[in-house]
A and B are shown apart, each in its own frame.
Chain A
Amino acid sequence: MSHYLFKKIGWALLTVGFVVVLNFFLFRILPGDPARAVKDPRLTRQSIEAVRVRFGLDKPLPVQFLLYVRNLAQGDLGTSFHQQRPVATILVENLWNTLLLIGAGTVLSILLGIVLGVAAAWKSGTIIDYGALIGSLAAWATPTFWFGMILLFWGSSQLGLPIGGKLTAGASYDSWWEQWLDVGKHMLLPTVTYTIIYAGQYTLFMRSAVLDIFAEDYILTAKAKGLHSFQILRDHALRNAMLPTVTVVALNLGFTVAGAIEVEKVFSWPGLGQTIIDSVERQDYPVLQGAFLLLAISVIFANLLADLLYSYLDPRVRVT
């Protein structure tokens, strides 16, 4: 067990190191001079040069790289060209909002997906199965931004929900829970959008995993033992069907940070996705570089999490 653990963690760290290097050079070979992105027509050539010096862009590449690594080690991701604030601060603010959104959405979509998928497989061939199948295919195929806009339109006009943002502008709150209530109202629609889009995928996945398991010989053994179908589902099918699902969920987890971009855009949610879009428009390289690093690391750690969870669920992996 511990050997496996160390190996997996070692690989994850190695990958992070590789990403750190790649991330640096990726942003040096991209077109466009970062210094010019600090858009201000009044800037003279001298001041542009001063900006280059300030951001360390005048130094040779190897020196820049060493500085980058040293700063990174100190948690310094540089300064935003546009906002003139530390990238780390900006990212942490936005990451928190994104995590709030995708955290709620992921938990809900996984629960919904597992319940619907298992129900569909258990009642396979019935109206429940077809309903779940059609519903999740539709959810999967629906473009996120389109579905988000429909919900936004319907929710704001029919339910009086806010049309975007995280808090009502200019509102003052008497207590922390009033503030959270406001956040909740703002979060509702984006979370529902996110949940439904992803639950479709998880439902399909869980359904096929359970159906595969039902065809296994050990399920026949379980039936031959006289176990009831619910017992068979609970004791022999669920855990085994979780194996492929865990992989997909964990892999998704990394990408969902990026996948939240569309939802955040539609609902003007001040998250990482929104920040990335803005930074691309403004060629704000330090923020992009930091965001990319964050995304890459979250994918790597989601993978690590999948491996560890897998080894917990599957004893065959545990020993090797």
Chain B
Amino acid sequence: MLSGLINYPTVLTTLGGDKMNENADDDALILDVRNLSVDYIAHGRPPAHALEKVSFQLRKGEMLGIVGESGCGKTTLMLSLMRLLPAAGRIVNGEINFLGADLLNLNEKAMADVRWKNIAMIFQGAMNALNPVRTVGSQIAEPIARHTMNTLNDLHPIHNANRNGKATQSPNGNGHYAGKNLNPLRTVGSQIAETIKHHEAISDKGILDRRVAELLDLVGISPNRRDQYPHQYSGGMRQRAMIAMALACFPDVIIADEPTTALDVMVQAQILELLATLRQQLGLSVLFVTHDLGVVAEVCDSVMVMYGGVVAEYSDVDTIYNSPQHPYTQELLKAFPDVAHPHSKLTSIPGYPPRLDALPAGCRFAPRCPCAFARCHQAPPPLYHLGKFHEASCYLVEKTKVGIQE
């Protein structure tokens, strides 16, 4: 079980800590996304504004639900965070402050180090997200082997000495590391290597195997199935394996993009329960993308409702359910009145989301909004702050606002 896992310090040494922001004193703040805008560029057509000025924060241990109709940009947002947008996607504006540094400023190599090590992702369709010709176990082991040695190198200056070539000197010739505890007859390097092997050498096959077994056990899969292939797993097991994989490197943030969509209802419930349990146990910070407001109510702390690439309303779960201010949120809840039957689809709002390459001049929701008035068709509403943690982008709340997002 979990206590058996070798815990690695999840310090992000690849990132500079120089970039301070107003929330820097907030220790629990992990992710602070600001004014993120993404376009999809197509040849000979106007760019599609898939995200416009999206801002949100994620704190340690928080589970943030991101809801909205199909095509509102949820996956685009998640992929932007990992900087894995498809070729046509461009991040045109914004910041992704992660543990105090902007991910958008990292070079590709540093970003590759952040992926999975710091931000891991559970994909929607586990069948397709797993490679069919490799065993599940090897795919879980892969990110561990990829990232853990890096972390060791970065975290342990001693280990760096190994790379600098000094490690072949004997302790006496290397005053810095000399000490009673070192065997003077053997090189520093060999002794360090031994130590690492003893405690944390994840490249060591046996330890790697044990980690994989523990991870599988953690998500309720018998470890002796690790040498099986994805097609030998049921849909639910594949999704569990995805979760085990996401946990492999003790990420600071886990992104779950509709992790239960492709599953049947019973299995959905099991996977949700697993996620909720793991989150409690491990104190995970999760971005949880879903269509399903009922699920959000069950498992999330806060909710960001998106519409057509913008934030419609953003607050804690209670506020969103008990006093929604944005007409879109209200319509969603109406279309979905009973939290006890959380599996109906969000289809009953008449009309369709806007085309992203031909957006309405005003509020993106105006063509479908039951409360729309003249002004809504002229200019898009800004995001109004309604309280310490409640934001909505609708002219109707202008009178009750306490501030405006820049």
Q: Which residues of A contact B (CB under 8 A)?
A: 216-218, 220-228, 231, 235-236, 239-240, 243, 313-316, 319
Contact = CB atoms under 8 A, between A and B. Distances in A.
Contacts of A314: 132-133
> Is the interface on chain B under 10, 10 to 19, 20 to 34, or 35 or more residues?
20 to 34
Contact of A225 (B115, B128, B229, B232): B115
B121 A226 contact: no
B128 A218 contact: yes
Nearest to A224: B121
Contact of B130 (A218, A224, A240, A319): A218
B82 A227 contact: no
Contacts of A225: 115-116, 142-143, 146
28 contacts: A218-B128, A218-B129, A218-B130, A218-B131, A220-B123, A220-B129, A221-B123, A221-B130, A222-B142, A223-B84, A223-B115, A224-B84, A224-B115, A224-B120, A225-B143, A226-B114, A226-B116, A226-B147, A227-B112, A227-B146, A236-B131, A314-B132, A315-B132, A315-B229, A315-B231, A316-B133, A316-B229, A319-B231
Nearest to B113: A226
A224 B120 CA distance: 7
Contacts of B390: none
Contact of A224 (B82, B131, B132, B231): B82
Contacts of B117: 226
A319 B232 contact: yes
Given A217-B123, A316-B231, A227 B129 contact: no
Nearest to B111: A226
Q: Which 9 A-B pairs have the closest CB atoms?
A: A226-B115, A217-B128, A218-B131, A315-B229, A225-B143, A226-B112, A225-B116, A221-B129, A217-B129
Contacts of B71: none
Contacts of A243: 133
Interface of B: 82, 84, 112-117, 120-121, 123, 125, 128-134, 142-143, 146-147, 229, 231-232
Contacts, number: 69
A235 B146 CA distance: 12
Contacts of B143: 225-226
A97 B146 CA distance: 49
B112 A228 contact: yes
A17 B231 CA distance: 36
Contact of B146 (A218, A220, A226): A226
Contacts of A236: 131, 134
Contacts of B121: 221, 224
Contacts of B142: 222, 225, 227, 235
Interface of A is mostly: helix
B404 to A, nearest CB: 35
B83 to A, nearest CB: 10
A235 B134 CA distance: 9
B128 A216 contact: yes
A224 B229 contact: no
Contacts of B84: 220, 223-224
Nearest to A316: B231
Contacts of B116: 224-226
Nearest to A218: B131
Given A223-B115, A236-B134, 9 more contacts: A221-B130, A222-B142, A226-B114, A226-B146, A227-B142, A235-B134, A236-B131, A240-B131, A314-B133
Contacts of B113: 226
- Scoring A221, A228, A236, A313 by chain B CB atoms within 10 A of each residue's CB, the highest score goes to A221
Contacts of A228: 112
Nearest to B119: A224
A54 B363 CA distance: 97
A258 B203 CA distance: 51
A225 B138 CA distance: 13
Nearest to A242: B133
Contacts of A235: 134, 142
Contacts of A216: 128
A216 B132 CA distance: 11
B212 to A, nearest CB: 14
B115 to A, nearest CB: 4
A234 B332 CA distance: 46
A301 B340 CA distance: 61
A225 B134 CA distance: 15
Nearest to A228: B112
Nearest to A314: B133
Contacts of B147: 226
A315 B229 CA distance: 7
Nearest to A223: B84
A15 to B, nearest CB: 28
Given A216-B128, A220-B84, A313 B133 contact: yes
A123 to B, nearest CB: 14
Contacts of A313: 133
Contacts of A227: 112, 142, 146
Nearest to B116: A225
Nearest to B142: A225
B116 to A, nearest CB: 5
Contacts of B128: 216-218
A158 B162 CA distance: 57
Contacts of B114: 226
Given A217-B123, A220-B123, A239 B133 contact: yes
B353 to A, nearest CB: 24
- Scoring A227, A231, A313, A314 by chain B CB atoms within 10 A of each residue's CB, the highest score goes to A227
A286 B239 CA distance: 62
A223 B123 CA distance: 13
Nearest to B232: A319
A37 B120 CA distance: 77
A119 to B, nearest CB: 19
A191 to B, nearest CB: 33
Contacts of A218: 128-132
A239 to B, nearest CB: 6
A316 B230 CA distance: 9
Contacts of A319: 231-232
Contacts of B133: 239-240, 243, 313-316
A227 B82 CA distance: 13
